[in-house]
Amino acid sequence: MLDTKVLFQLLLSPRLGLTFTLLQWQKVIFIFRESKLLASLYHVALRDGCFDDYPEFAKRHLGSAQIYAKRQAQQILFEATEFRLQLEQVGITAVFLKGAGYTLRNSLNSHGRVCSDIDVLVNKKDLSVAEAHLKNNRWQSEVLSDYDEKYYRQWAHEVPPLIHINRATVVDMHHNLYPPISGRTTNISQFISSRLKTSSGCFVLEPATTVMHSIIHLFANEDSSSWIRDLFDITLLIKEYENDEFWQALIDLSKQTDFEFEFVCCMNALKLYSNIAIPDIAKSYLAHYKMTKTQAWLMKHAILPAICPEHDLLLTPKIRWAKKLVYFRGHWIKMPFNVLIKHFAFKSFFAIRDQIMGKHHFDPKLPENPNW
Amino acid sequence: MQIIDTGLYRFSLKSDVKHVSTVAKSLYSDSWDLDGPVDFSIRLVYESLLRRFIKPQISFYSDQHSPFKPLPISQAAAVLEWGMNWCIAAHEFERLLIHSAVLVKNGKAIIFPALPGSGKSTLTAHLGLSDWDIYSDEMAIIDTSTSMVNPLFRPVCLKNNSIDLIKAWHPEAYFSPICKDTQKGDVAHVKVLTWEQYQKFDKAQIVAVVFPKYVPESELKIYQLTQLDAFNTLSKNAFNYNVLGADGFDAVARVIKSCRLFEIEYSDLNEVNDFLSEDVIG
């Protein structure tokens, strides 16, 4: 039986795959294709030395995915350098986050990892200068609906996605790690000042800060579709960078940023799914941390099960329910109640309409493409 | 659920539209080996309840996602073939995929990259149903290390007038029912191979690249292409050229350097057949 635990175990001990039947492999390929983990599995199996013993069927799919990932890593290096140089013209330093950051620092979790956009962090005071300069230099934003524009400008921690007009690269430029509307903005200058310069000349966050950001991004998010991949990132980052100083810094950061519950969830997720040995310093912190009853219930029944990859082969009614709860909680902690109600009213109106009429009924008519 | 085996890629199909299952059965039933894993799980489904009854539309799903917008139900059978093409093009990065027909004789392959309307499919179907081995109508699947081209077990997609032409020339062949008014006009698929024939095919060396262009009433005109022109056109026709990067560049370069390169204008397919058989394959 495939479930989240078995799949996570496969990523950590790829030799497990040697015992799989072809039909089990087929399921693994489908689920990891959906979770964007095929190329990651390729690399862990290669490092372990068991890739060559996998069946041809598996090798073909993992091999193909890693070619795509390799090309994307090349593009990220190129695009990040372009972006860095562009902002340096106006004296602004961008720090690269998440996927692009992993690739730039060449951490183990970046091998085979794919991402859909590049995330960067700049100081809020620099944001308008940076955006204006980019828009004078071939970066554009799509025209947004009034509601979405307002969402970004008033509530969000990022500007609307910037798209390069020639290469269609998408950059999400952040000024904080979490939406200001939540009232939980972190002191971002502390994050930015903890940066490291990579060999490409681009900046990334220090290891502990990187992991803290990954924890916030995962456990305070409403969209659980990539949680298994994100938890695998955190696992490999910890394995690669952990030492006493790292753990102390991570615990301090969780307190300073006020994302202690998310940190506790992460430690519990690692205990449940990974083989990471949680050090005593973190254990004693966990023992002293007091969760409310609601939080404890939420962690057990929503957050931990929702790490399951979003695929029909795995989604039991319980897991679907957990993912719905996580979705609601993610919005709940992000927005004040009155804003949240309005947000859901908008989104559910469109969702119900699409269910009745079909998803694309109200889309603007596209020009016909004779080559399709 | 039914299995569609195209030789290199296996699909499992679930269709809400019975007609599509019937067509798939007629085109692929000889390759239905139920054992073994599939590469892609595909579905044709009604997107919404209302749309099942009012102006019915069908959506193609590859596993959990639909890469295209829904299309009218009349196009369902064509949507299946296009969807299968999408699955291959969006996931195959170990081999170079060129939008091109592939015909083989005496173990030597000619690839025909061409834009829609060039008469490529008519040419492929006619020659394939005559005395050529047809490796593909839509994509040349080339091993990047050796530049050998792989056979694929698929029907040929015919458009508009060519449906009647091929029907007149090859009345014995199986044609799927015509899908009217698609983005490509009227579309039908013709079965050009049995599974038994397909299984005898080996990878083949590419000896020529021919860019065909149908010009009504024209005599056969043959132009030699420069390597540079052919490289430009061939790489533009490669679905995954950007993803393959340097390997894609090298693979295209190897094909170009080892091949004879032509552009032809034609109206009579028998003249084309003579030219290809005698002068190109020789």
Retrieve residue A142's tokens: 């799509």
Residue of B46, B61, B81, B243 best to disrupt the A interface, most CBs of A under 10 A? B243
Q: How far apart are CA B231 and CA B141, in angstroms?
A: 17
Residue scoring higher pLDDT (A178 or A83): A83
Residue with tokens 């039933």: B29
pLDDT given for residue A179 in this prediction: 82
Per-residue confidence at A98, pLDDT binned at 50, 70, 90? very high
ipTM over 0.90: yes
**B69/A363 CB distance under 8 A:** yes
pLDDT given for residue A367 in this prediction: 40
Mean pLDDT for all residues in chain A: 90
**B64/A34 CB distance under 8 A:** yes
Q: Does A353 touch chain B (CB under 8 A)?
A: no
**CA proximity to A261, closest of A218, A210, A225, A229:** A218
End-to-end alpha-carbon separation of chain A, Å? 40
The residue extents of the domains of chain B are 1-91, 94-282
Tell me which chain B residue has its CA closest to the CA of residue A26. Answer: B37
**A371/B70 CB distance under 8 A:** no
Average pLDDT of span A62-90: 96
Element (H, E) at A287: helix A280-288
Residue with tokens 């990067």: B245
Residue with tokens 């916030």: A216
Condensed to tens digits (0 to 9), the pLDDT of residues B64-107 reads 999 888 888 888 888 899 899 999 999 999 999 999 999 999 99
Residue scoring higher pLDDT (A351 or A174): A174
Helix axes of A38-48 and A56-88: crossing angle, nearest 10 degrees? 110
**A67/B50 CB distance under 8 A:** no
pLDDT given for residue B11 in this prediction: 96
Q: How far apart are CA A157 and CA A216, in angstroms?
A: 13
What pTM value is reported for the model?
0.91
pLDDT given for residue A55 in this prediction: 98
CA angle B133, B137, B140 (to 5 degrees): 85
Q: Does A71 touch chain B (CB under 8 A)?
A: yes
Retrieve residue A265's tokens: 């969830």
Distance from CA of B200 to the nearest CA of A (A): 21
Element (H, E) at A131: helix A127-135
Contacts of B115 in chain A (CB under 8 A): 371
Residues A174 and A121: beta-carbon distance below 8 Å: yes
Contacts of B183 in chain A (CB under 8 A): 368-370, 372
Tally of residues, chain A: 372
DSSP code of A121? E
Each residue's pLDDT tens digit in chain B (282 positions)? 899 999 999 999 999 888 899 889 989 988 777 788 999 999 999 876 666 667 788 899 999 999 888 888 888 888 899 899 999 999 999 999 999 999 999 999 999 997 777 888 999 999 999 999 999 999 999 999 999 999 999 999 898 889 999 999 999 999 988 887 676 678 889 999 999 999 999 999 999 999 999 999 999 999 999 999 999 999 989 999 989 999 999 999 999 999 999 999 999 999 999 999 999 987
Backbone φ and ψ of A276, nearest 5° = -75, 135
DSSP code of B162? H
Backbone φ and ψ of B154, nearest 5° = -140, 155
Contacts of A33 in chain B (CB under 8 A): 63, 91
Tell me which chain A residue has its CA closest to the CA of residue B94. Answer: A64
Contacts of A20 in chain B (CB under 8 A): none
pLDDT given for residue A365 in this prediction: 46
Contacts of A67 in chain B (CB under 8 A): 93-94, 243-244, 247
Q: Which residue from B94, B116, B244 is facing A63, i.e. has the nearest CB?
A: B94
Retrieve residue A242's tokens: 């952990």
Pairing of the two strands A162-164 and A170-174: antiparallel
Q: Which residue from A26, A64, A358 is facing B37, i.e. has the nearest CB?
A: A26
Would you report the helix, strand and coil content of chain A in percent, each value rounded to 5?
A: 65, 5, 30
